[in-house]
Amino acid sequence: MQHVNWQLDGIVSQLRATREQWRAQNGREKEKGCRELPSRHRIRETLEFLSGAIFPMRLGPSDLRKESEDFYVGHTLDRALNALHEEVLLELRYMARLGGDKASEHTATATQIIQGFADSLPSLRRRLDDDVMAAFYGDPAARSVDEVLLCYPGVHAVIYHRIAHYFYQAGAGLVARIIAELAHSDTGIDIHPGAQIGEGFFIDHGTGVVIGETAIIGNRVRLYQAVTLGAKRFPADEKGHLEKGLPRHPIVEDDVVIYAGATILGRITVGKGSVIGGNVWLICSVPPKSNITQANTQSGPCP
């Protein structure tokens, strides 16, 4: 095979100059020489370990046997939790430096976050079992709970979201966002890690679903592809900067079904037991047991 000389010396030098210019412009020229941010690659690998430890005989290694199941779970969790500890610690130190706090170590905080996550794993598994069963009972094409767990992108996205949401609440927002975006790239389902999602949640098909940061979703809710739970507007401060953290996404109460292509915007409430039809555009609250279709949005329900 012929080796081509790509004349890389000049390109490498120009890239170095561009990096140095960006660092000088952004006050980064005094940063340490080692990597300072969490690694997408390592977090992806860790998520695979966690999925296997939570569902060992279905998402674990192909040669796993039941008699060694506990050993595998313990060993894999130890590996995953240590890796997560390092990634969370990197984030905490990075955020502290951005805030001008260069002295804090943050090891104890990272340890507390990861221990809390480890302690939550049994309840996480039980909640994911409810999500898997919701998918199985909610889709007539599903032949087994195993098929649902192995194959359904909505279940994959929810597993990652439940993990990401813990880290979001615990103060590791960058690690949480990386987890969410890995799920997004895998499934086409975009769930912000801040979204609060109740029990027995099912996303059928899933491609194009978007759920915003401050959305609140109740129990036994079912969504179909291309549903958006988004913000209607983005308030800005006196300098024109978008205000962060304001409640701006919908509240979806228990037992709601939202069909494909529906767009629900703003801090509105979809009442318990409601059905929102396909391609509906909804910007006002609706009471419990509403049945909203394109036809009945011509003259309502919004005033």
Q: What is the pLDDT of residue 101?
A: 76
What is the rounded average pLDDT of the residues 54-80?
97
Residue 267 has pLDDT above 90, yes or no: yes
Q: Angle 40-54/107-138 helices, nearest 10 degrees?
A: 60
Question: Cβ distance 145 to 133 under 8 Å?
Answer: yes
Q: According to the model, what pLDDT value does residue 303 have? A: 57
Comparison of pLDDT for 303 and 172, the residue scoring more? 172
Question: Which phi and psi (to 5°) does residue 178 adopt?
Answer: -60, -45
pLDDT at 33: 64
Query: In this structure, what token pair is assigned to residue 263?
Result: 């767009």
Give φ, ψ of 222 to 5 degrees.
-125, 130
3-state secondary structure of 29: coil
Does residue 185 carry a pLDDT above 90?
Answer: yes
**Average pLDDT along the chain:** 93
pLDDT at 90 over 70: yes
Q: What pLDDT score does 289 carry?
A: 97
Identify the pLDDT of residue 239. 77
- Count of other CB atoms within 10 angstroms of residue 163: 27
Question: Structural domains in the chain?
Answer: 35-189 (1.10.3130.10), 208-235+245-303 (2.160.10.10)
pLDDT of residue 252: 98
Give this prediction's pTM: 0.92
User: Averaged over 146-157, what is the pLDDT?
Assistant: 97
Give CB contacts under 8 A, 24+ apart, made by 212-217. 212/248, 212/249, 213/249, 214/245, 214/246, 214/247, 214/248, 214/249, 214/267, 215/249, 215/250, 215/251, 215/252, 216/249, 216/250, 216/251, 216/252, 217/252
What strand order describes the sheet that includes 222-223? 202-203, 222-223, 257-258, 275-276, 291-292
